[in-house]
């Protein structure tokens, strides 16, 4: 797609208030492919004003009509799926097949789920002598990350629209072209002017201005825990609602009764997908001591299939490449054993990192505690189930996880004891209707399905 040189505000593309731009780089070949405007507080102010003006009309629109508009938006995303996939591949570096199935495909499911939910959800409930009204929270400031550039946008915008809120989106600076495509889709779907607005820009400038804006009622942010803390503090200081979807260090717990080969292979695939740039990736593989050596051998064989530039793409930027290579060096320095990969770049051009597997990782090592956000898997050994649980729960995060066992009930019993927001049992599939979000420092609030919709609603009770 051709980059837009303006902001989408009040139903039209208009010039940015300032002259600065952001270069968009293709991480596979390091070439600049586009420039987009670097928005300022003035652009954010324009967008918030447009959203505020559009709010009364959109909030009063019958839910069935809002549902029809979201369905129309979904249909445009379906029609433009190839263009979306190519754009994601160009600015994120994801292999085209992944872009088609996941990056372009999943948002269609999520948008469709909210079209259905907006039509069927009861925005009113009776309790005793009261009627409780569920009303839109107001103007939403949505700040999204680069790792799933369309899914993360749709997972915020679709429920906000379904609830009757209006939105100002500030997408990640690394992947703004996908967000511009989404704005074009909103326009094509015929949403009323000002209901959705887009400001591209840098996080510390445009993102901070949006989070701090006095006319924004709720800030929904997905990204790092460090930035999430700042946004949460800003929102808390202004006494406004906040939803935070932050980091993860998810445990993949393989119980002794499990099909070891399947669990290891699926576990490696889970982390290699999207080059490990997934907050919910199962980056810690926990294996019983008696099966540990076999698991290490299986992991080494499994990761060999992920050839950089073929089955696995680059990281999004030079900065991320350096960060992940730094973590790999730290793993070696702290005594973990390299089974595959390492810090050396596997290709001369592009921000690639070698798919890496570490063995002999102990729970207190940096690579077992901090989110790496790259194709790096740590194998940890446990003595018994209680030890596995202690290791699994022994980080500041609690976003996702996995449990494998021959008996489903055994896996469920373990999963119930995990301090985490989602657990996949024996390789359970992604469900766009299930709530997604974390315990502990993985965040506040939930996305997707009914729980995701309720984030954008506030309650009023009428007594009779």
Q: What's 251-431's CATH class?
A: alpha beta
Question: Structural domain boundaries of the chain?
Answer: 6-246+441-463, 251-431
State residue 54's pLDDT score: 99
Residue 407 has pLDDT above 80, yes or no: yes
- Alpha-carbon span 348 to 101, nearest angstrom: 28
State residue 288's pLDDT score: 98
Please say whether the beta carbons of 141 and 213 come within 8 A. yes
Dihedral angle sign, alpha carbons of residues 140, 212, 47, 203: negative
Tell the burial category of 461 from Cβ atoms under 10 Å away from its Cβ (0-12, 13-18, 19+).
exposed
Architecture of domain 6-246+441-463: 3-Layer(aba) Sandwich (3.40)
3-state secondary structure of 62: coil
Residues in Cβ contact with 118 at an 8 Å cutoff, skipping those fewer than 6 apart: 63, 64, 66, 67, 70, 161, 162
Give the tens place of pLDDT for each residue, 189-221.
999 999 999 999 999 999 999 999 999 999 999
**Residue 315, CB half-sphere, CA atoms under 13 Å: how many?**
24
Overall average pLDDT of the 259-274 stretch: 98
CA distance from start to end of the chain: 56
Whole-number mean pLDDT of the chain? Answer: 98
Look-up of token digits 């729960």: 393
Residue 69 has pLDDT above 90, yes or no: yes
State residue 2's pLDDT score: 82
Q: Which residues are annotated as catalytic?
A: 245, 279
- Alpha-carbon span 376 to 353, nearest angstrom: 9
Give the tens place of pLDDT for each residue, 3-41.
999 999 999 999 999 999 999 999 999 999 999 999 999
Diameter over CA atoms, the chain:
72
Q: What is the pTM assigned to this prediction?
A: 0.98
Look-up of token digits 């073929």: 310
- Alpha-carbon span 283 to 286, nearest angstrom: 10
């Amino acid at each position: 797609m051709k980059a837009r040189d303006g902001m989408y505000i009040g139903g039209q593309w208009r010039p940015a208030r300032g002259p600065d731009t952001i270069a968009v780089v293709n991480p596979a070949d390091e070439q600049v492919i586009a420039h987009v405007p670097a928005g300022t507080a003035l652009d954010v102010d324009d967008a918030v004003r447009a959203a505020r003006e559009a709010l009364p009309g959109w909030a009063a629109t019958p839910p069935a009509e809002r549902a029809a508009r979201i369905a129309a938006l979904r249909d445009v995303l379906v029609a433009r799926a190839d263009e979306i996939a190519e754009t994601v591949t160009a600015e994120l570096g994801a292999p085209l097949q992944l872009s088609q199935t996941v990056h372009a495909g999943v948002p269609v499911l999520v948008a469709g789920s909210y079209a259905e939910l907006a039509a069927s959800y009861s925005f009113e409930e009776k309790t005793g002598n009261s009627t409780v009204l569920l009303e839109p929270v107001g103007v939403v400031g949505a700040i999204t990350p680069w790792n799933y550039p369309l899914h993360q946008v749709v997972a915020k915008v679709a429920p906000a629209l379904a609830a009757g809120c209006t939105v100002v989106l500030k997408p990640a600076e690394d992947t703004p072209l996908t967000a511009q495509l989404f704005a074009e889709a909103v326009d094509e779907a015929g949403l009323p002017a000002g209901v959705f607005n887009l400001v591209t820009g840098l996080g510390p400038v445009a993102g901070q201005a949006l989070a701090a804006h006095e006319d924004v009622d709720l800030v929904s942010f997905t990204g790092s825990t460090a930035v999430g803390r700042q946004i949460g503090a800003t929102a808390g200081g202004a006494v406004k609602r906040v939803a935070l979807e932050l980091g993860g260090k998810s445990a993949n717990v393989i119980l002794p009764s499990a099909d070891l080969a399947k669990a290891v292979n699926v576990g490696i695939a889970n982390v290699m997908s999207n080059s490990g740039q997934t907050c919910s990736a199962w980056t810690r593989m926990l294996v019983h001591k008696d099966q540990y050596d076999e698991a290490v051998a299986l992991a080494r064989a499994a990761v060999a299939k992920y050839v950089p530039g073929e089955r696995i793409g680059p990281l999004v930027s030079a900065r991320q490449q350096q960060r992940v290579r730094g973590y790999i060096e730290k793993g070696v320095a702290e005594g973990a054993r390299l089974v595959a990969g390492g810090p050396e770049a596997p290709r001369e051009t592009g921000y690639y990192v070698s798919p890496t597997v570490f063995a002999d990782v102990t729970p207190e090592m940096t690579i077992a505690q901090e989110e790496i956000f790259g194709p790096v898997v740590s194998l940890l050994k446990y003595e018994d189930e209680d030890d596995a649980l202690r290791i699994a729960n022994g980080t500041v995060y609690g976003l996702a996880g996995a449990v494998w066992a021959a008996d489903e009930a055994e896996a469920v019993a373990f999963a119930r004891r995990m301090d985490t927001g989602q657990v996949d049992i024996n390789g359970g599939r992604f469900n766009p209707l299930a709530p997604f979000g974390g315990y502990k420092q993985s965040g506040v609030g939930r996305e997707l399905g009914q729980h995701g919709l309720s984030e954008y609603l506030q309650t009023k009770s009428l007594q009779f």
